[in-house]
Structure 1
Amino acid sequence: MVTTAIIAQHFEVTINDHPKMKLRKIQRRCASEMHVNMTIDCCYRAKKMVKEKMTGNHKEEFGLLWDYAHELRSKIPGSTIKMVVQRVVADFLPHFKRYYVCFDALKRGRKAGCRPLIRLDGCFLKCSFKSEFLTAVGRDTNNQMFPIA
């Protein structure tokens, strides 16, 4: 018997690589690869299981940000690490909002020989939570770019 868990396990890599894959395509691939006819509802539940598993990993990783900040503070003194969270409802866990890191070596390097030219560089994150990743970039005396705070 083929269950939604077996379909989710079989197509986990495919769904992770192509999260917008149509349910009909999953249904056709079940028929061709596994030689079973599955309902659209079963394919929907399997796709939902894979997406929840992927999101669960993000939740665990965001939970480790406090540990990362503490480790950076203890190993690299002088660095600035700030994390902002937002509490939506008083009873629930806080939601991650932003994370700021400026290493001590970058601070000292910028003061020592950086030109007063700073620009903002960034990219869009295209995962289950849409967001932006921004960094401030400066140029040193050799005309090389490096991140600054």
Structure 2
Amino acid sequence: MARCMQVKSFHDEHNCCVSFRNKMVNVKVIAKYFEATIGDHPKMKLREIQIKVASEMHINVNMTRCRRARKMVKNKFAGNSIQEFSMLWDYADELRLKNPRNVIKMAVNRFTPESPPHFKRFYVCFEALKRGWKEGCRLILGLDGCFLKGPFKGELLAAIGRDGSFNLMVFFM
């Protein structure tokens, strides 16, 4: 036999306090939600991440969660780059296969003979660009370079030439 409950009074006012704690917002949720932001600004301060979480998710989190979320995003991006650097050998082989006269050189360092290779530099000179440079460009050569910032520091150098019709040819070194 079912028992019926009777409502004797209904109060529409709430006396409970608002809580800004939620155990479901863990490190993985923060890392996934702010992956693009942390990826664009890898040196973002923990306090800034904490403020963003509070303003966008309306949750108070401690610095430890913010630190772990930032580390998780950085490790994910570092893992992607390791995977991409390992594919450079495939890229070089494909370029050589399509046009054997291209000049492709890759340099790696090994700390010990058993250690995995550590990427140092990658040089590509396409045969068609080199031939076009020799046949049609003026003897004006511009050199440009910049320093790379971010997790992989280094330099990017480019040789730039201009032909008679003012088209630019760019060679990256």
TM value normalised by structure 2: 0.78
Highest Rg: 1 or 2? 2
Deviations along 1:81-112, one digit per CA (max 9) or x if unpaired, are: 11111112333211111111111111211221
Q: Quick one: distance in 2 between partners of 1:97 and 1:84?
A: 5
Deviations along 1:12-31, one digit per CA (max 9) or x if unpaired, are: 11111222221112112222
Range that drifts further, 27-36 or 8-17 = 27-36
* Cross-structure match for 1:136: 159
Matched, 1:89 2:112: yes
Identity of aligned residues (%): 56
* Cross-structure match for 1:56: 79
Q: Quick one: distance in 2 between partners of 1:31 and 1:108?
A: 59
SS in 2 for 1:67: helix
Residue 34 of structure 2 is aligned with which of 11, 31, 34?
11
SS in 1 for 2:139: coil
Deviations along 1:17-46, one digit per CA (max 9) or x if unpaired, are: 222221112112222333332211111111
SS in 2 for 1:129: coil
Residue segments in structure 1 that go unaligned for 5+ positions in a row: none
Q: Quick one: distance in 1 between partners of 2:49 and 2:148?
A: 26
Alignment coverage as a number of residue pairs: 149
Q: What's the CA shift for 1:54?
A: 1.1
Q: Quick one: distance in 2 between partners of 1:10 and 1:145?
A: 42
Range that drifts further, 20-29 or 7-16 = 20-29
Q: Which protein is richer in helix relative to its size?
A: 1
* Cross-structure match for 1:38: 61
Give, as a single letter, the amino acid of the residue that structure 1 aligns with 2:170.
Answer: P
Residue segments in structure 2 that go unaligned for 5+ positions in a row: 1-22
Q: What's the CA shift for 1:148?
A: 4.2
Give, as a single letter, the amino acid of the residue that structure 2 aligns with 1:64.
Answer: M
RMSD (Å), alpha carbons: 1.7
Q: What's the CA shift for 1:125?
A: 2.1
